């Protein structure tokens, strides 16, 4: 499966930051983490820091999958409104999902600051109503979040125009959000755990996985065997390969980045992310070197050749939308790309065991627009499961909720 097309900026900017050996001997360990993207890196780091003997293995160079294509806005606001989650499940469930995601932003901040030099910055997130018909659902969403103590401010049409120069019916401003270079963060985490004794291998594909009551055995493309007490499947959008049932819908998402923009033009966009109520939505955020990163235009094509052909056309369409929103901003694409993306029906991720493989195989499917926030939550959750401790998110992120 080809996970990305075009020129994902992080890969272009950073090049191959770290490389690891291919696996050429059999080995045993406590936990093998299959997949070295941001999800595998966060989980491996969490486990290694807490004394587990961890092996990480990836079929590509590390972080070369979706992680290198991610636009990496870090938001607690998930693609499904809290009010929608409350209707679908209940208020307590919506609160758990939103509150956990809010906490995850601080956890990523702490980690990013410790690791250092990963273009992390906090900011605000402006969620505007794309059309008048969305106004009332935004009012409800704002009221729910305000009532539950989330850091939000309501912006009327007039306030939005005055303060941001943006023409839209209304918006919710969240004062907690962040951004990061996900490729750098994941690469540095892998480097860090290796220095502390974890073993990391790249360019080594896992071709089979067999779980018994006491262990899991993985066999690689070069015939090596890894025996572990637990396996974490962090294969991103390729994880479906290990499951008979379809658990999510694959899409393609498109993005482009500008050259550094004059700070006088960028103004408040330097520290405010923007997204909208339409689905699929357009979103914008800046980078540490003053570029503007724009994404959206998701479609149902996950056939790589078709997606490859669309990259420039989609970037041009995104650019036209940005020009309508911000007529004075020069937001020409410097690099454009696309990536495979997946969504569950309720916008929540899937972490934990699946009946097909038993309790020693734990999946880490950080699906949805907040994939990275979910991966951070999944790290703590899967560690708790491996250590046989209860965790508040066990049920909410379990496969069993899909029915
Ligand atoms: C265009 C785009 C924009 C996005 N924007 C955001 C955003 O703004 N905010 C946000 O939070 N999230 C965003 N996401 C989602 C986020 O990027 C993903 O959740 C995240 O990158 C997934 O990371 P991962 O480690 O799970 O997957 P990946 O990075 O794909 O890593 C999985 C790894 O598993 C390896 N692998 C697969 N099969 C095997 C095998 N058999 N053997 C060995 N290794 C294997 C792969 O080689 C790969 O390196 C976006 C995604 C895309 C595509």
User: What is the atom index within ligand 1 of the atom nearest the CA of 60?
Assistant: 47
Per-residue pLDDT, 403: 78
How far is 343 from 362, CA to CA, in rounded Å? 19
Enumerate long-range contacts of 317-325, CB under 8 Å, 24 or more apart. Answer: 318/254, 318/255, 318/256, 318/282, 318/294, 319/256, 319/294, 321/282, 321/296, 322/282, 322/284, 322/292, 322/294, 325/166, 325/167, 325/274
Nearest CA to ligand 1 atom 25: 37
How far is 362 from 151, CA to CA, in rounded Å? 33
What is the tens place of the pLDDT at every residue in 207-220?
Answer: 999 999 999 999 99
User: What is the atom index within ligand 1 of the atom nearest the CA of 4?
Assistant: 53
What is the tens place of the pLDDT at every residue in 340-389?
Answer: 889 999 999 999 999 999 999 999 999 999 999 999 999 999 999 999 99
What is the tens place of the pLDDT at every residue in 293-313?
Answer: 999 999 987 778 888 889 999
pLDDT above 90 (res 225): yes
pLDDT above 90 (res 83): yes
Q: Read off the tokens for 192.
A: 């860090």
Domains of the chain: 4-69+183-241+347-402 (3.50.50.60), 121-177+250-343 (3.30.9.10)
The model carries a pTM of 0.98
* Reported confidence tier of residue 118, pLDDT bands at 50, 70, 90: very high
* Reported confidence tier of residue 188, pLDDT bands at 50, 70, 90: very high
Per-residue pLDDT, 4: 74
For a mutational test of ligand 1's pocket, the pick from 1, 5, 9, 67, i.e. the residue with the most ligand atoms closer than 8 A to its C-beta, is 67
pLDDT above 90 (res 246): yes
Top pLDDT among 396 and 403 is at 396
Element (H, E) at 174: strand 170-179
Is ligand 1 within 6 A of the CB of residue 386? no
Is ligand 1 within 6 A of the CB of residue 344? no
How many whole angstroms from 219 Cα to the centroid of ligand 1? 22
Per-residue pLDDT, 157: 98
Per-residue pLDDT, 308: 84
Is ligand 1 within 6 A of the CB of residue 321? no
Is ligand 1 within 6 A of the CB of residue 347? no
Per-residue pLDDT, 274: 98
Is ligand 1 within 6 A of the CB of residue 378? no
Is ligand 1 within 6 A of the CB of residue 65? yes
Per-residue pLDDT, 5: 78
């Amino acid at each position: 499966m080809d996970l990305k097309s075009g020129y994902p900026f992080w890969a272009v900017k950073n090049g191959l930051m770290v490389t690891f050996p291919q696996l050429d001997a059999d080995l045993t360990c406590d936990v093998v983490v299959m997949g070295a993207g941001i999800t595998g890196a966060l989980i491996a780091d969490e486990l290694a820091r807490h004394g587990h003997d961890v092996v990480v293995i990836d079929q590509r160079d590390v972080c070369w999958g979706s992680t290198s294509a991610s636009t990496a806005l870090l938001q607690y606001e998930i693609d499904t409104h809290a009010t929608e989650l409350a209707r679908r499940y209940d208020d307590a469930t919506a609160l758990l999902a939103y509150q956990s995601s809010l906490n995850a932003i601080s956890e990523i901040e702490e980690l990013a600051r410790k690791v250092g030099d990963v273009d992390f910055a906090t900011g605000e997130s402006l969620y505007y109503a794309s059309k008048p018909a969305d106004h009332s659902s935004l009012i409800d969403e704002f009221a729910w979040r305000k009532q539950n103590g989330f850091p939000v401010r309501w912006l009327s049409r007039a306030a939005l125009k005055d303060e941001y120069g943006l023409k839209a019916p209304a918006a919710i401003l969240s004062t907690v959000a962040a951004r990061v270079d996900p490729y750098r963060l994941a690469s540095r985490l892998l480097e860090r755990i290796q220095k502390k004794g974890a073993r990391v291998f790249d360019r080594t594909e896992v071709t089979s996985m067999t779980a018994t009551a006491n262990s899991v055995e993985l066999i690689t493309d070069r015939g090596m065997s890894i025996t572990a007490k637990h396996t974490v499947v962090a294969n991103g959008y390729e994880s479906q390969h290990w499951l008979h049932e379809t658990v999510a819908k694959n899409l393609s998402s498109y993005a482009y980045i500008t050259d550094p923009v004059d700070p006088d033009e960028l103004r408040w966009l330097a520290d405010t992310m923007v997204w909208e109520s339409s689905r699929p939505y357009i979103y914008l955020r800046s980078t540490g070197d003053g570029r503007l990163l724009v994404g959206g235009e998701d479609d149902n094509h996950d056939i790589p050749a078709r997606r490859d052909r669309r990259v420039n056309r989609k970037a041009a369409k995104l650019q036209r939308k940005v020009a309508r929103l911000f007529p004075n901003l020069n937001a020409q694409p410097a690099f454009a790309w696309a990536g495979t993306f997946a969504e569950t029906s309720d916008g929540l991720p899937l972490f934990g065991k699946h009946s097909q493989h038993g309790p020693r195989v734990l999946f880490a499917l950080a699906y949805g627009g907040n994939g990275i926030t979910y991966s951070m939550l999944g790290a703590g959750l899967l560690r708790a499961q491996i250590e046989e401790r209860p965790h508040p998110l066990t049920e909410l992120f379990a496969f069993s909720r899909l029915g």
